[in-house]
Every structure is written in C-alpha cells, then in structure tokens.
Amino acid sequence: MDISPLQKARYSYQPKLPAVLRGNVDSIGIELGKPTEAVDDRAELRNIFKLSYGAPIATFVAKPNRGNRRPLVVGVILSGGQAPGGHNVIAGLFDGLKKGNPGSRLVGFSGGPSGLVDDLNVEITAELVEGYRNTGGFDIIGSGRTKIETPEQFEKALRTAKRHGLDAVVVIGGDDSNTNAALLAEFFKSRGEAISVIGAPKTIDGDLKNEYIEASFGFDTATKTYAELVGNIERDANSARKYWHFVKLMGRSASHITLEVALQTRPNVALVSEEIEAKGMTLTQVVDAVCDPIVRRADRGFNFGVVLVPEGLVEFVPEFKTLIAELNDLLAREAAAYAALSDDGARTAFVSGRLAPAARAVYDSLPGDIRRQLIMDRDPHGNVQVSRIETEKLLISMVENRLAAMKAAGTYRGTWSAQNHFFGYEGRCAFPSNFDADYCYSLGFAAFVLIANGLSGYLSSVRNLTAPAAEWVAGGIPLTMMMNLEKRHGEEKPVIRKALVGLDAAPFGVFAAARDEWAVETCYRYPGAIQYFGPDEVCNAVTETLRLESLKK
Ligand code: FBP
C-alpha cells in the first residue's frame, strides 16, 4: 500500500502512558472507593440496574497483582461518530492484553454494536494493529449507531459473546453508546455471565465529561483541526475584506467545540446555545445579536467578519425547542401513518396539521429546506440529526432580510455579502494530536486492567490530563454514576447525562469577558495546523477548555 510520509512516521510514534501503567503488569493494582450514586433519579436507576448500581470508583496504584496475567478473550466495538484516536484505544487495549498474557486475544466486531449482535467479527492481530497505530478514523473495524435495544438483540449479543468465549466487551463510544454498554453489563450480570463490559469515552463533541472524566477523546484533535480552518478563513476575510463568513461547527447539542474554537481564533461572533437557552433568546433576538456587530463594523469600514454557529443551536432557541419536542413526540406517536407518506410535501403537511398552534406557526414560517430537515429520521438513540439542519443558511437569510430593512431605514450603511461553511466531518478522522494519541492509548490500556480484574459496567478513565502523561491518574468510573432519566422516543429512559457548556465555568467566562472587543475590532488569532513533531508548546498543548477547567481544581 502507498502510504503518506506522515502516516509512516506516525506508525513509529510511541504513545505515552501514565507511570502506573508503564513497566511490569504484575505491579498494577486496583484500589476501590466507596459506593457511588447516580447524578439523579436514583431510586429508578437503582431499580433498572439492580446488579450494577452504585459500584465504587476504581483507581490503579502500584502494588503486586498477578490478576493481570490471566489469558483473556476480549471483543471490541467502535460505536457512533468517528473521533480521532479510536485506533489507539484498540492499540492500547491490544498491547495491554498481550503484555498481560501473550495468549490473550482481541476480536473486533465490525460496523458498530450491530457487529456484536450479528457476529460480524475480525480477529485483531499484531499485523492489523500495526497499520493503524496513531492514525485517525475508525476504519480498522468500522463503526455504526445501532442501539442494542430489543430482548432479541440482547440475547443475540450474549450468544455471540459466548460463541467466542469472551471475557469482556469494550465499547468505544459516546454518551448514548456507553448508556447501552451499561445496559449490556447489567444484562450479562442478570444472566450470571462473567462477561465484563467496559466503555471508553469517545466523542469530538466534548460532552461526555464530568468530575472524573475530564475530556472525551477526539475533542482535542477535532477542535484543533476546526481552529486551523477557521483561522485560515479569518485571514482570508481580513485579506479580501468583502465577506461575512458563517461557519457552523459540529458538536451536536453542546457548544463546547464552538467555544473552544472561539477561544483559539477570536472571531467576531460565536453563538453559544446554552447561553441562548439560559437567556430565553428568540430567533429574532439571536439575529439581532449577529446584526449588531455587522452594523458597528460597517460604520468603521469593516464589511467583513466571521460568525461561529454551534450545530445544535436550534434545539436551544425556545420556540424551536418546543417545536422539536412536539415533533419528536408526534413522529414517535404517529410513526406508522407517517411512514406511509411518500414525499416531503405530504410529510411536512402531515406534521404541520398535527402541531399545536404555537409550534405550527413557527414550523410554517420556516424555509422549506429547514422544515424538511427538522422532520428527517431521528438517529437510533432518538436524537434529531442536527448536523443535517442548515442553521448557518437560515441565519444568513434572516440576517440578510434584517440588514435590507435597516438599510431602507438608513440605520445600516455597509455592504453585505455572505459565505456559509459547515465544519464537522473534516475533523473527525484527522491524525490524532499527540494528546489524543497518548490519551487514547492509555484509555485502551486502562480498559485491559479493568477487565483483567473482573470489573464490569465501568468507563475507562484517565485523569489529571493537563499534567505530563507520567502523572496521569488511571482507573475506572462506574457508568451508573453518570446517569439520569431523560425522555427519548417519547419515553423516560436511563441515559448518561450530557455535559453542556457551563455558563459559570471558566471557558465561557474567559470568552464572555473578551467577546465585545472581538465583535468590533479585528482580533483574529491563527492557530495553524496540528504539529506532531517539534517544541513541546507547539506539539503538546492541551485545549483551552481543558486548561481553563483544570484551574478550578
Ligand atoms: P457521537 O456523539 O457519536 O460521537 O457523534 C459525534 C457527531 O460528529 C456529532 O457532532 C454530529 O452531530 C453527529 O456525530 C453526526 O452524525 P453522523 O455521523 O451520523 O452524520
């Protein structure tokens, strides 16, 4: 195969591990803390997870432990959207297993959780892993968004696990996939099967984090990739001086990606969905907030700028939030009748005719494309596919109308021309930064230790991430500890609570203190491309989000 020089060079990068995971596996011991509680809805969750609820936090410490030597057969799944570093979780898990016992085996299940259900497997060998070390993508075994949900799917997953003699299944996924991992762990326990289920915190969105999970992997690389692109656009805007660029950024519901990219690049406007919701801002008020700097910059002769838009924005604007909640219930309730409709016109009319008056008024006022995008299939976990809603184009057209009205009234004297962009897929499979390469390898290795010690229903965890890797703290966090109940497909379900942007947290505070200046001045910052080789401050810097969040500790 013809591989690029960078790919070749990255094969030989040796990811860094926390000190406790280096050296001999006989000296990696486990310390268990006190029983834990879920973040909310404790009684209900205790009832759903009768056998797994309340497990203690596990921390790895240096002490003798022969348990890491037993031969193991482990299955692994990549689940949900791609995130840079997934291959290194597999490499860390593989190397840990082989270090524990050369006879241990790793079986990959292809195409996500459905691979476990349908037993689509591939043996992960040393040769296979070699070709994927420190590279982006999930193509080693592929990924998918199937949710293991029905009793038949759980039974089939168990049959697959027993057919392969699995000691454990590792689920590399986000909040929804790890919720599924917790249910699978409980199911295996209820059958008296000693098959561990261990998760690894994956998602570029950065919303799978809490006191014990400081970051989800992939966020570092993806935000650095988007920051490079946004910085390049800012420089183009500042050179040509004729366009306002509206950039939608991935991140699903949470605005962590937008906020991190804003901290890195200092655009004129960065919308933060969580703030818009907290202030109860209507779409009209959001448009006002975007027009204000456009008008003020025009008065100073700057008819250009950059606006960052989080992809989940519409879910947070009150009138849209109500509309989406009604749409979700309606589409779940009337699924059969809706499925029988043959074209978009019939679907939008069907939906509009069944909404309550206020939601219908909002729905009917939207451009046809947006109306159609709002009723596209939910993903298997019940989420609206916000990446497919062209919010940046909706905003451009609303801003354009407002500026035209202001021009007619003599309150806007500038010239206006807009460009739209959506950055998402560009960042999900980039070569992992050194941080993500190290972090992911450590998460995979930690998953091995959790399995070797018979723990189940845990998320592999590596903490103290702003310190050098040697000082990272590794262990496992019980999945039930992160859960609460939320409405999905019209029903209350146990889910891992998403971490949205905290308006009282340091990253937002730093942004909020600086943004008025960024709005009217041209303060752009150009981060450039991710570097893999070179000085420490260029190659190993953590995200601003992680750095600022760590200051509170
Ligand atoms: P995960 O939560 O599975 O990690 O998804 C990340 C993500 O990239 C979101 O930011 C985005 O909304 C979604 O996946 C897009 O999904 P798809 O790949 O199915 O288009």
d(CA 144, CA 379): 11
Atom of ligand 1 nearest to the CA of 385: 12
The DSSP 8-state label assigned to residue 157 in this structure reads H
Q: Please, which residues bridge with residue 420 across strands?
A: 246
Structure tokens at 366: 């939207």
Determine contact, residues 217/436, Cβ cutoff 8 Å: yes
List for the chain the helix, strand, coil content (%; round to 5).
50, 15, 35
The DSSP 8-state label assigned to residue 383 in this structure reads -
Active site residue 205: yes
| C-beta of 81 in contact with ligand 1 (< 6 A) | yes
d(CA 437, CA 435): 5
Burial profile 424-460: b = 16 or more Cβ within 10 angstroms, e = fewer: beebbbbbbbbbbbbbbbbbbbbbbbbbbbebbbbbb
Domain residue ranges of the chain, discontinuous segments joined by +? 5-218+432-488, 225-311+390-428+500-531, 314-389
pLDDT of the residue at 386: 82
d(CA 129, CA 252): 30
Tell the residue nearest (CA) to atom 12 of ligand 1: 252
Determine contact, residues 420/443, Cβ cutoff 8 Å: no
Q: Which ranges in 174-218 belong to alpha helices (H)?
A: 175-190
Determine contact, residues 204/81, Cβ cutoff 8 Å: yes
pLDDT of the residue at 2: 87
CA angle 387, 390, 394 (to 5 degrees): 150
CA angle 111, 115, 121 (to 5 degrees): 100
d(CA 164, CA 177): 22
CA 67 / ligand 1 centre spacing (Å): 37
| C-beta of 254 in contact with ligand 1 (< 6 A) | no
Tell the residue nearest (CA) to atom 6 of ligand 1: 81
| C-beta of 147 in contact with ligand 1 (< 6 A) | no
The pLDDT tens digits for 485-537 are: 998 877 899 999 999 999 999 999 999 999 999 999 999 999 999 999 999 99
pTM for the model stands at: 0.95
Determine contact, residues 502/511, Cβ cutoff 8 Å: no
Radius of gyration of the chain (CA): 24
CATH 2.40.440.10 fits domain 314-389: no
Tell the residue nearest (CA) to atom 4 of ligand 1: 203
d(CA 55, CA 37): 8
CA 27 / ligand 1 centre spacing (Å): 39
Q: How many residues does the chain have?
A: 553
| C-beta of 387 in contact with ligand 1 (< 6 A) | yes
Three-class SS string for 298-355?
HHCCCCCEEEEEECCHHHCCHHHHHHHHHHHHHHHHCHHHHHCCCCHHHHHHHHHHHC
pLDDT band of 365, cuts 50, 70, 90 = confident
Q: Determine the residue type at 278.
A: A
The pLDDT tens digits for 136-172 are: 999 999 999 999 999 999 999 999 999 999 999 999 9
| C-beta of 248 in contact with ligand 1 (< 6 A) | no
Query: Which sign, positive or negative, has the C-alpha torsion 442, 77, 158, 378?
Result: positive
In this prediction, residues 240-245 reach a mean pLDDT of 98
CATH topology of domain 225-311+390-428+500-531: Rossmann fold (3.40.50)
Determine contact, residues 230/247, Cβ cutoff 8 Å: yes
Tell the residue nearest (CA) to atom 19 of ligand 1: 81
d(CA 471, CA 551): 17
Helix (H) or strand (E) holding 62: strand 58-62
d(CA 482, CA 236): 43
| C-beta of 189 in contact with ligand 1 (< 6 A) | no
Structure tokens at 146: 């199937």
Determine contact, residues 375/403, Cβ cutoff 8 Å: no
Tell the residue nearest (CA) to atom 18 of ligand 1: 81
The pLDDT tens digits for 181-217 are: 999 999 999 999 999 999 999 999 999 999 899 999 9
CA 387 / ligand 1 centre spacing (Å): 7
The pLDDT tens digits for 301-311 are: 999 999 999 99
| C-beta of 386 in contact with ligand 1 (< 6 A) | yes
Q: How far is CA 168 from CA 77, 193, 454, in A?
A: 11, 10, 9
Determine contact, residues 532/135, Cβ cutoff 8 Å: no
Q: Which of 167, 205, 207, 438 is catalytic?
A: 205
d(CA 306, CA 297): 12
Between residues 384 and 170, the one the model is more confident about:
170
CATH topology of domain 5-218+432-488: Rossmann fold (3.40.50)
41 sits in the region (left: phi over 0; alpha: psi -120 to 50; else beta) called left
Same fold, 5-218+432-488 and 225-311+390-428+500-531: yes
Three-state SS at 511: helix
CA 206 / ligand 1 centre spacing (Å): 11
Structure tokens at 369: 């494309």
| C-beta of 371 in contact with ligand 1 (< 6 A) | no
The DSSP 8-state label assigned to residue 217 in this structure reads B
CA 424 / ligand 1 centre spacing (Å): 8
Q: How far is CA 82 from CA 126, 383, 417, 546, in A?
A: 23, 17, 34, 21
d(CA 85, CA 344): 39
Mean per-residue pLDDT over the chain, rounded:
95
The pLDDT tens digits for 42-64 are: 999 999 999 999 999 999 999 99
80 pLDDT higher than 70: yes
pLDDT band of 553, cuts 50, 70, 90 = low
CA 246 / ligand 1 centre spacing (Å): 20
